[in-house]
Every structure is written in C-alpha cells, then in structure tokens.
Amino acid sequence: MNTTRRGFLKTGTGAVVASVLGFDVHDAYAQAKELKIARTTETRSTCPYCSVSCGVIIHTIGDNAKNVTAQVVYVEGDPDHPINRGTLCPKGSSLMQDILNDRRLLKPQVRRPGSDHWEDIGWGQAFDEIARHIKKTRDESFITTDSQGRTVNRVETIAWNGGCTDTNELNYLVVKTMRSLGVTYLENQARV
Amino acid sequence: MTNGWIDIKNTDMMLIMGGNPAENHPCGFKWPIKAKRQRNAKMIVVDPRFTRTAAVADLFVQIRAGSDIAFLGGLIHYALENQRIAKDYLVNYTNAAFVIKEGFKLPEDGLYSGFDPATQVYDKSSWNYEETGGAGSKAAANGPPMLPANVAYDTALENPRCVYQLLKKQYSRYTPEMVERVTGVPKDQFLKTADLFTSIRKDGNTKQVGTIIYAVGWTQHTFGSQIIRTAAMLQLLLGNVGRAGGGVNALRGHSNIQGATDIAGIFDNLPGYLKVPTPADTDFSAWMKRITPTSSKPKEWDSWNYWSNTPKFAVSLMKSMYGDAANKDNDWAFAYLPKVDREYSWVHIWDDMYQGKVKGLIAFGMNGVAIGPNSQKNIDALKKADWLVVCEIYPDETSGFWQSPGITPEELKNIQTEVYRLPGAGFAEKDGTIVNSARWLQWKWTALAPPGDAKVDQEILARIFLKVRELYQKEGGKFPDPILKLSWNYTDPNNPSLSEIAKDLNGRAVADVMDPATQQVIKAGQQLPGFGFLRDDGSTSSGNWLWCGSWTEAGPLMQRRGTDDPSGQGIYPNWAWSWPMNRRVMYNRASCDPSGKPWDAERRQVWWNEAQKKWVGNDVPDFKADSAPKDHMGPFIMNPEGIGRLFVPLAGMADGPFPEHYEPFESPIANPLHPQQSTNPVVKKYTSDMDKYGTPA
C-alpha cells in the first residue's frame, strides 16, 4: 500500500477508508486537491475586446517540456495592472472560451469557383495561388499615369480590410506591403 | 483620449454622451465611479436610452438621437450668456481673439459662405483669419488658400469679426427653447444640465475641472466629427483641455483601434498621421510643401507648430520602408508611393466592389459582411469579385458569403469568387503591442502556439508578400520596383519577429546623429531616444515618428511594469509607454496659467521652474521644455497657430468652421433651424440599387 498521505487517501473510497480508520476523510481529501493554477506558467497579455485594454494573466500548463503543447487552463485579470487592477468584465472573464474553442479554424481551406463546399488546401499551395491572384490582378490593372498624365503608380482593383485586434507590428507590415503594391483601397476598423 | 482612464478619477464633473461605458468599458468605468466617491464628482448622462451608465448618473437627460450638436451648441450658448467660461485660458490658449476676414458668412440658412450647389462642395477661402499689417504669406497664384503668417487679433474680444463674437452669434440661435424643439429635452431639464455642467466655472472658479466622455454614439453619424468638435469647443471655453480630470475623451471600441489609427492602415494617411501624396504633388518636396504647415499667429505670440517637422517624419518613414533604396538621388523613393486623390474608404471598397471595379479583397480580422449597413449589398459585391482571402480565427460571414441564405444551387454555380480561408492566431497566440484609448502602447507576451495548423498573422502576410516578390523577381511585371526594394531585413523573413518590427517603428540612426542642443551623439544603428532626433537628410529611419521613444537603447519601454504613481494622479509614469514621449495628459501646458503656475495647486501636473529655466512636473510636459511663459508659446503645439481652435479655418473641416446642427440623413422631421437645408449639404450619397434610404412615413 502506498504510504504517502495522498496515496493513502486515494486507495479507496471515503467509506472504505473511514471504516478502516473510524472517521470521515472527505475533508482531508478536499485539502489535498491542488489549485489548478499551482503549476502553471503565467503569461502577461492584454484583453482583445475593448479599449480599456485590461491586463490579463494567461495560465498555461505543459510548456517548456519536450513534445508537449502548452494548453490554457485559466485566464484572470492582472492585479498589477493600474487600470483594471485585476478585475475583468464578463467578456474578459470568458477569454478562455475565445482561445480554447472547438469552432477555431485549424487548417487553410479554399472554395473553388462555382463550388458548393470548402476543400482543404496546404499552406504552400495557398500562398502560391494567392500570390498568383495578387500579381495577376495587379498587372492587369496597374495605373501608371492618370487621365491628366500625372504619375500615380496605383492599383484600384485590390482592397485590404484590416481588423482592430491586429497588433501594431502586423499593421506596419500591412502598410509596407500594401503600399509597395500600390494599393489605395487600404482600410481597417479605425474607419468604422 | 487627450487624457487617460485612471485620470478620470481626478475630475469634478463628467458629461457622458454618445457612450455607455458602464456596459461597454466596465473595467474602465471604475474610474468615473471613483471620482464620484472620492471627489464627490457629478455625472451627467445624456442619451436616447436609459442605460446602465445613466442608472448611476446624478442627472440623466433623454435626448433625440442625432441631435447632439444642438444640445452641445445650447451648452455653449449658456456658458457664453452666463460668462461661465475660463476667460484667461480662452484669450491666451484659443483662437477666440483671432479676427476672421471679411466675406465670411454664418449658416443661419444652413449654408456657410462659399457653397457650390453643382459640386456640393464648399470653396473655403472665406473661412480664414484676417491678415495683420506687415509681411504675410501669399498663396501661390493657383495654389490653395493658406493661413496668414500674421493674424489680426483683439484680446478684448470685442471686434465683431473676432472668433469669440462669431461664436456668440453662431450659437445665439441655440436658445433653450430651440434646444427643446430640436432635441426633445424639456427646457427646464436642459437648463438644469447646463447650470450643473458649467458650474465648475461659476464666479470665476478656475480650480475645478470637467471632462467629456464619448464613444461611437457620436462618431457614427455623417456629422460625427462635428459633434466631437462641439464638445472640444465647449471644453476649450471652459478651460478643461490639458488639465487632470479634463479633456475630450474618446472611449475607443476595440483593443487596438487606437494603434490601427496611429499606424494608419487607412487610405488617406501614412503612419503617424502623415497625409498621403496626391498626383498633383510632382515630387517629394512639392508633397512636403503642401502638407507641412507654416505657423499662423499674432506676431507677438510664439507657436512651435510641431508639424513643421513633417519632412523629418516623412523622410524617416521612407528610410524605414525602403532602406538604402530611398535616398536623396531618387527623391526618397517618392515614386514608390501610390498617389491618392479620391475617396478609397471602407464604404467605397464595398460600393466599388458592387460595381465590379474591385476584383480582390484581403480581410485580416475584419468581417465586412457583418458590420456593413447593408449586409446583402456586401454579399452581392463579393459575388462579383474574382478572389477573396480571409484570415480569421473563427468561421465568419465574409468568408462564408457564398453560403448565405437565399443563394440557390443554380446561382452558386455562377459565383466564380475563389475564397481562401486561412486560420490565424488569436490574441493569446501572438506577442506585439496594442494601444489603448489612453494612448498607452502595451506589449503582450505569447502564451501558447496557435492551434492545429493555424499560423500567426505576420507569418501569413510575410509569406504571401515574399511569394509575390518571388514571382516578380522571376517573371517581371508591372512596376515591380517598390515590391522588390521594400526593406525586409528580418532575422526570419518568413515570420518576422514583432520585436524587430517594433524596433523599426521606433526608429534608429542610419548614420551618426548629433543633437546640437546637448551634443549627444546617437551612433549609426542605435535606437533613437525620441522624435526630436529625426532628420530629413536620410540619417534616421522610423516607421512611426509618433512612437519614437517607445523602444530606445534602454530597451522596450512599452514592456515596463512600474506600479508606482508618485503624484497620486494616476499618471503611472513607469507603466508601459504612452505617446507622445510618455506624456500622459496631452496639452498639459494648458494646466497652468499664462505665467506658468498651475490653475489648481492640488492637481499639479507640470509647471514652469524659473531657477532651472524649464518646464518640469509629475507628467512629462507636452511642450517645448525651455520655452519661457513670457514668450507666450501656445500649448496646442500640433496646430500651426499653437492655440486650441474654436474656429477651424480653411480645409480643416469639410462642412463648416463651426459645427451646425443638421438632421441625420434619415430623419423624420425637417430641421427647425433651417428647414430648407435640413441635412448636411456636403454628405456623399450612394446611388446604387442597394442603397436604400428611409423616408418619413
């Protein structure tokens, strides 16, 4: 028989153990249970939902180990953050459901012209085809000079719609890449 | 926000309109509540609905949706009538004393001077200051009208064409009776509100402070900018801008909408609010000449006119985007920038796609079909597009438009749009910075990898771009230069590290740079300490001048987690980094009287230190540090005049230098102020078959 306290408590049901010992061990059993965040890695992040930008702490288990994928077990407000001081609103409190959700998109897919269904597509092929689309559309419609003969170097057939939870750094890549292509229809959530 | 979230706790009076922070910004709302509890601050809520915010207000007033300008104009009228204004602030820090030139007409009939009914656009040359005797700036023969270098002014505020008198005349029509007619707010309730809100300036009181808080209830109108303008004018009249617990405070909607605005992923701006070049800008210097303001002010005053440094920002941006491929010899790669001379904004994208002009759309984290005013129009638009690329973390209506209800199998076969749906990363799966409403850049760390085969957005975009570049390298094509020469020196080009990009955004010295004032040398390759070091000679690079100072040689300041707040005002100078230069309350020089002494000693933010001959304080001064009060430099350093604008001259606003109440486009009534010009005369109207307008029954 396992002689550690935990091992002892786990060997049988409370009733069996109680009959052996003569007292109820449920309270002790409850004490031995560990906080689910006792062994987690804490990562500081920011809630994506509104512009208060509350500090959040994301608790994950299983990282730093070989061949183990980190998994989120808990998300809470960051008590150090001066603005929210550890509090979160209902949206922030449910952030775990935003991260861990069986509706998350997991693989790239394509809908072919005229088709009625999604097909899986590999990343490499997706990048190839998308790049081909961009080049074809751009080359077919690139405007070097306008009707008054002035240099404009722009493309009016490709548009970009950016989001509002995209990081600043991604947005800079967007500005760089889209402007280098000559795209003028460059917009994001800030407009709306 | 001009101020910040925590700063709201310093206020004595809150006006919350066009927003419902109790429900939409709950964790930020603890600060207005704190102001109520600790300072006995009063909260006024003006809203068409009795919201949860209204439920904790001291005064709730129910207003007809869309009549906010009438209400605020009524408050301005009340403040002026009862002299509940900050007189010294008004005369010295705003353009109240500036004289407007002859020929300007107020819109008693709904139209300002200069309206052309044929084009539905104003000729704004009469919306300008009067030039004073002496050397003035002359506009180029066929150039646009310019502000005069020397402005005529009357500090007694008596000249009938001074802004103060015109302001009085403009809002003389916004009597309590008219406010009741237009807004539906009973006269006595309106007067109660006006009395309460302006009570902070009763009998010459300058200690107390009021704030105005708003959100998309104000912005989502055809005259949204003008509503906010009216609030700003009211705050200037009351001397609340620049003060702790004051300001004009937008509660933005999403976690990085502020960052998205700053970095300008929008058609008419480049990062840091630089204006895009037009086809009429024949070269880089023509572009700079057009977008760089020259100072315009009373001769005896001083104006820093900080936008006069525009060429330094623009050249540094081109160096950041194109590296050595942007240099003096090729006009800083000016040819690589697309020239913009019409509207390409969000609504236009969908309308032009509906007309078959836009062939391909890339949407990263934006669900256009769901948020447009007419989802069906957007769906029908996508049916005509050649291709659509969506990067999302959940299935959305945009990528699934071809599965929307009402599409028959027959029709589906004819929808030729090729749709790619790429799984991206959620907030927890990528690092990088986002900017909150209070202008704080905050870094977040990656907690875990994206699930399944999903990739981080920067990798997806990088790989697409590099593939496009590869195709142009192999096959040539139309004007490939900007694509081939775009700087992409990341350690992992397929998945650029956001830290490396953040350092680009801050900027670095390309060649050794010396600051003449301090003799400090920044060596080539080093991160720049701030935008004061940017140069227009190609020796510096910076992706966004406004964020210069966020990642210096000391490290990433936006990752700081200092929980100390020595002044107790909620400044938290060592938590993250706010733009500009970690100043937490903008225009804070205006928190002091003209002699440099704080209006309220208890909430001192910055002040003039005569011994050190500079501005010092609990907050970083948003001002030229060594400009003595006697030199009368204006606190609003980003305006060419250096002052806060009650009157916005020339092309600042499309529909008028003062806000005027116009009915919303789909209003059931005619405008009581001028029924013959009920709505905003310059609003663009869309005319496709899918653009349906409501009409009164």
Contact A172 B504 (CB under 8 A): yes
Contact B257 A131 (CB under 8 A): no
B window 444-473, beta carbon within 8 A of A: 444-449, 451-455, 457-458, 461-465, 467-468, 470-472
Considering the domain architecture, whether residues B98 and B121 belong to the same structural domain is answered as yes
Contact B349 A187 (CB under 8 A): yes
A window 167-186, beta carbon within 8 A of B: 167-186
Largest CA distance in chain A: 99
Considering the domain architecture, whether residues B82 and B206 belong to the same structural domain is answered as yes
Q: Please, how many CA atoms are within 13 Å of residue B303, restricted to the half-sphere of its CB?
A: 26
Structure-model confidence comparison of residues A121 and B692, the more confident one: A121
Q: Which of A72, A103, A156 is opposite residue B394, by nearest beta carbon?
A: A103
Q: How confident is the model at residue B688 (pLDDT cuts 50, 70, 90)?
A: confident
Contact B437 A133 (CB under 8 A): no
Considering the domain architecture, whether residues B169 and B243 belong to the same structural domain is answered as yes
Domain for residue B259, yes or no?
Answer: no
Residue B339 has pLDDT above 60, yes or no: yes
Considering the domain architecture, whether residues B105 and B136 belong to the same structural domain is answered as yes
Considering the domain architecture, whether residues A29 and A56 belong to the same structural domain is answered as no
Instruction: Tell me the residue range of the domain where B115 lies.
Output: 6-252+643-677
Domain for residue B556, yes or no?
Answer: no
Domain for residue B108, yes or no?
Answer: yes
List of chain A residues whose C-beta atoms are within 8 Å of the C-beta of residue B362: 158-161
Contact A163 B364 (CB under 8 A): yes
The mean pLDDT value for B223-247 works out to: 97
List of chain A residues whose C-beta atoms are within 8 Å of the C-beta of residue B415: 113-114
Do residues B651 and B146 make contact, with C-beta atoms less than 8 angstroms apart?
A: no
pLDDT digits (tens, 9 = 90+) for B427-475: 999 999 999 999 999 999 999 999 999 999 999 999 999 999 999 999 9
Residue B485 has pLDDT above 50, yes or no: yes
Domain for residue B478, yes or no?
Answer: no
Contact A69 B449 (CB under 8 A): yes
B655: left (phi over 0), alpha (psi -120 to 50) or beta: alpha
B490 contact A CB<8A: no
CB atoms within 10 A of CB B130: 18
Q: How confident is the model at residue B122 (pLDDT cuts 50, 70, 90)?
A: very high
How many helices and strands in chain B, by DSSP H and E?
Answer: 20, 23
Considering the domain architecture, whether residues B99 and B64 belong to the same structural domain is answered as yes
Residue B605 has pLDDT above 70, yes or no: yes
State the total domains in chain A.
Answer: 4
How far apart are alpha carbons B225 and B233 in whole angstroms? 12
Q: How confident is the model at residue B687 (pLDDT cuts 50, 70, 90)?
A: confident
Considering the domain architecture, whether residues A86 and A109 belong to the same structural domain is answered as no
Do residues B163 and B153 make contact, with C-beta atoms less than 8 angstroms apart?
A: no
Domain CATH number, residue B390 = 3.40.50.740
CB atoms within 10 A of CB B306: 18
List of chain B residues whose C-beta atoms are within 8 Å of the C-beta of residue A162: 260, 265, 364-366
Considering the domain architecture, whether residues B37 and B154 belong to the same structural domain is answered as yes
Considering the domain architecture, whether residues A126 and A159 belong to the same structural domain is answered as no
Strands B577-578 and B440-444: antiparallel
* Shortest Cα distance, chain B CAs vs residue A43, angstroms: 6
Domain for residue A116, yes or no?
Answer: yes
pLDDT digits (tens, 9 = 90+) for B37-66: 999 999 999 999 999 999 999 999 999 999
Considering the domain architecture, whether residues A95 and A113 belong to the same structural domain is answered as no
How far apart are alpha carbons B673 and B152 in whole angstroms? 32
How far apart are alpha carbons B343 and B357 in whole angstroms? 14
The DSSP H or E segment spanning B70 is helix B68-81
Contact A110 B479 (CB under 8 A): no
Contact A50 B486 (CB under 8 A): no
DSSP 3-state assignment of A76?
A: strand
Domain edge (last residue) among B568, B598, B630 = B630
Contact A175 B271 (CB under 8 A): yes
* Shortest Cα distance, chain A CAs vs residue B549, angstroms: 15
| DSSP at B681 | T
Considering the domain architecture, whether residues B649 and B624 belong to the same structural domain is answered as no
The mean pLDDT value for B85-109 works out to: 96
Domain for residue A137, yes or no?
Answer: no
How far apart are alpha carbons B361 and B379 in whole angstroms? 13
| DSSP at B589 | G
How far apart are alpha carbons B636 and B645 in whole angstroms? 9
Domain for residue A154, yes or no?
Answer: yes
A window 40-59, beta carbon within 8 A of B: 43-55, 58
Considering the domain architecture, whether residues B94 and B243 belong to the same structural domain is answered as yes
Res B134: pLDDT: 44
* Shortest Cα distance, chain B CAs vs residue A2, angstroms: 36
Domain edge (last residue) among B413, B435, B457 = B435
Domain for residue B280, yes or no?
Answer: no
Quick one: angle between helices B375-384 and B346-354, nearest 10? 60
First to last CA, chain B: 40
Give the pLDDT of chain A (192 residues) as one tens digit per residue: 445 666 555 555 544 555 566 666 666 555 667 888 888 999 999 999 999 999 999 999 986 777 778 899 999 999 999 999 999 999 999 999 999 999 999 999 999 999 999 999 999 999 999 999 999 999 999 999 999 999 999 999 999 999 988 999 999 999 999 999 999 999 998 887
How far apart are alpha carbons A183 and B41 in whole angstroms? 49
Considering the domain architecture, whether residues A50 and A85 belong to the same structural domain is answered as yes
List of chain B residues whose C-beta atoms are within 8 Å of the C-beta of residue A181: 468, 482-483
B353 contact A CB<8A: yes
Query: What beta strand segments (E) does chain A contain?
Result: 41-46, 55-61, 71-77, 109-111, 119-120, 143-145, 151-162, 183-188
The mean pLDDT value for B163-180 works out to: 97
Contact B28 A52 (CB under 8 A): yes
Q: Which range, of A74-83, B131-140, B514-523, B554-563, averages the lowest pLDDT?
A: B131-140
Which positions ≥6 away from A165 have C-beta within 8 Å? A48, B254, B255, B256, B365, B427, B434
B window 83-112, beta carbon within 8 A of A: none
Domain for residue B211, yes or no?
Answer: yes
The pTM (predicted TM-score) of the whole model is: 0.93
Considering the domain architecture, whether residues B53 and B197 belong to the same structural domain is answered as yes
Considering the domain architecture, whether residues B110 and B240 belong to the same structural domain is answered as yes
Q: Phi first, then psi: give them for residue B329, nearest 5 degrees.
A: -70, -30
Domain for residue A185, yes or no?
Answer: yes
Considering the domain architecture, whether residues A125 and A147 belong to the same structural domain is answered as no
Considering the domain architecture, whether residues A111 and A158 belong to the same structural domain is answered as no
Considering the domain architecture, whether residues A163 and A125 belong to the same structural domain is answered as no
Considering the domain architecture, whether residues B350 and B203 belong to the same structural domain is answered as no
Res A14: pLDDT: 47
pLDDT digits (tens, 9 = 90+) for B369-392: 998 889 999 999 999 999 999 999
What interface predicted TM-score (ipTM) does this complex get? 0.94
Q: Where are the alpha helices (DSSP H) in A42-146?
A: 90-93, 95-99, 123-141
Domain edge (last residue) among B435, B469, B487 = B435
Contact A52 B25 (CB under 8 A): yes
Considering the domain architecture, whether residues A46 and A24 belong to the same structural domain is answered as no
The mean pLDDT value for B515-529 works out to: 91
A2 contact B CB<8A: no
Considering the domain architecture, whether residues A114 and A157 belong to the same structural domain is answered as no
Domain for residue B279, yes or no?
Answer: no
State the total domains in chain B.
Answer: 3
- Percentage of chain B modeled with pLDDT above 90: 92
Considering the domain architecture, whether residues A187 and A166 belong to the same structural domain is answered as yes
Domain for residue B523, yes or no?
Answer: no
Question: If you average pLDDT over every residue of chain B, what do you get?
Answer: 95
Q: Per-residue b/e over B654-679, b at no fewer than 16 CB within 10 Å?
A: ebbbbbbbbbbbebeeebebbeebbb
Instruction: Tell me the residue range of the domain where A163 lies.
Output: 142-191
For residue B156, what are its two tokens?
Answer: 């007694």
CA dist list (Å): B167 to B310, B336, B352, B648: 32, 45, 40, 12
List of chain A residues whose C-beta atoms are within 8 Å of the C-beta of residue B447: 43, 45, 58, 60, 70, 72
DSSP 3-state assignment of B338?
A: coil
pLDDT digits (tens, 9 = 90+) for B285-329: 999 999 999 999 999 999 999 999 999 999 999 999 999 999 999
Q: Which of A72, A109, A142 is opposite residue B479, by nearest beta carbon?
A: A142
Do residues B41 and B13 make contact, with C-beta atoms less than 8 angstroms apart?
A: yes
Considering the domain architecture, whether residues B90 and B210 belong to the same structural domain is answered as yes
Residue B245 has pLDDT above 70, yes or no: yes
